[in-house]
A = this chain, B = another copy of it.
């Protein structure tokens, strides 16, 4: 199974992160379906991108995708996945959601009953293969047409080797990006929460910070 043969659906694909990932995957030649609560808005976003990319409702995108990325707001994450569980059965689901709160001191990690957004997805989708990835990638860089290369590693979390291998390959299609296996689902929380640190770093250094793993 090669990642280039797969249709990539992006639920919540009209937000900055989802739209940025759609842009990069389409530019790399993958077949992309952007999902949104509003199919019309998804179609508008898709029309702004180049490559094989179309818009649909979240439910239609979930049905069309072989690999389904979840890039929706944390608020509503569980409800959407519960609703789509039947259509996501048998598919590879990549959760990219960071459960964060914000106040005047910046971002902080929210507690999650299941441990992490990714583990929540795995609990709600027992018949899907669930992987966590793309948590720490700057939406600003993804959307910047002048950023030819995205110099960051994508930490990939999961309990199924074939699934994490495929998601690593998905990260690898974007120039500069590299998928790195980074542990089991039980270690997803801190990778999601690390995004709060990257937001602190961005504030302090006026940067669009990402993570590279050394010695790998």
Known: A181-B201, A182-B197, A190-B197. 20 other contacts (CB 8 A): A107-B187, A151-B214, A180-B205, A181-B204, A181-B205, A183-B201, A187-B193, A187-B197, A190-B191, A190-B194, A193-B193, A194-B194, A201-B213, A205-B215, A207-B215, A207-B216, A209-B214, A210-B213, A211-B212, A212-B213
Per-position 1/0 for A50-76, Cβ under 8 A of B: 000000000000000000000000000
Copies per complex of this chain? 2
Q: How many residues of A contact B (CB 8 A)?
A: 41
A residues sitting closer than 8 Å to B (CB atoms) are: 105-109, 138, 141, 151-152, 155, 157, 180-184, 186-187, 189-191, 193-194, 196-201, 204-205, 207-216
List of 4 A-B pairs having minimum Cβ-Cβ separation, nearest first: A183-B200, A190-B193, A190-B190, A210-B214
